[in-house]
Amino acid sequence: MAQWMNMSGVDGHGFSYIGRFNHEFGRVTGIAATIKGNIVLCDYDKKNLILVDPLGNYLKNLNLDSEPYDVDITSQNIGYVTQPNSRSVLQIDPDNMMVLFQAKCSELGTTVFCVSAVPNTGRCFSKKVPCYLGVKTHGNLYAFPVNHDEINITDIEENGYEIGSCVLKFHTVNADSWLSCIGGQNYITYNEGFDYQIKIDNIATIDTPNDICSDDNDHIYVSGQGSNNIHRLIKYFKLQVGSFETEADYTVLDIPLNSQHGIKEPVALCFNQDYSKFYIVNEWGKSVLVFDVI
């Protein structure tokens, strides 16, 4: 017998539409917010990074030698950009659009695919892991820890956490747990540590999830690329009666945004650093919607 315990508040943010911007994008595949409130976009087709202000006004861009797929920015305001086709990752100063370091995978059949920052690791540099790279090798994706002083993408299977195969994007919930979008499927997965993995397949109203982020209430947001909506999930635990053991899972709280709010083929999404604005890469990477969080 099991007892279900909700471990998150049920109150959710509301969203007020501000506007939409498009700077003749080729195809935007990744988005992240800087400490200053600016937004970094990966234009995969045009091989560049684009920096815009909080309302989407163009600031500058950075041309790259390979296609950028995913980007995230740590609490220390250091950005990481994955370039899977060149098997590399860039470390950048996001507000100045400057490359600080580039690392490449040394093992054949291995590439850096996606990236996710660990939330709330503080503004100062420390020994905490600030982000995880999604490194694909031998058909599987591993959450691979990096630090700001050294990016050494070797011994992936020994030093990383196996997430699964066919992962499009993943989101770091905390230092040892992750949520992942699986290519071509209508569910997401949850991994915790080395051993625990579940398939969250109770989201009947989602089609082709593409990206995941979270807000300051620890609610999880999942973009439904095929269903033209954004789901909000909450975490709960299954407590075994008569035992101290629990198992984590997620369930749908609501669908705060859908096609009636202009959501059409959403690709990527993020909040700004103070959670006052919500950004959705829309129309299969052709435009970005901006919402105030209320």
The structure tokens 């976009």 sit at 41
Cα end-to-end distance, the chain, whole Å: 40
pLDDT for 42 beyond 80: yes
Q: Can you give the pTM of this predicted structure? A: 0.93
Q: Which amino acid is at 41?
A: L
pLDDT for 7 beyond 60: no
pLDDT of residue 18: 97
Query: pLDDT tens digits, residue range 189-209?
Result: 999 988 889 999 888 899 999
Both tokens of residue 113? 């695919």
Q: Which amino acid is at 91?
A: Q
H-state helical runs in the chain? 156-159
In this structure, what DSSP letter does residue 126 have? -
Q: Using CA atoms, how far apart are residues 177 and 284, in angstroms rounded to an integer?
A: 28
Pick the closest to residue 29 from 232, 225, 229 (CA basis): 225
Query: pLDDT tens digits, residue range 157-178?
Result: 899 999 999 999 999 999 999 9
Q: Give 213's strand partners.
A: 221
Q: Which CATH number describes the domain made up of 2-293?
A: 2.130.10.10
Q: Is 179 helix (H, G, I), strand (E, B) or coil?
A: strand
Q: Residue ranges of the domains in the chain?
A: 2-293
* Rg, C-alpha atoms of the chain: 18
Give the chain's mean pLDDT: 92
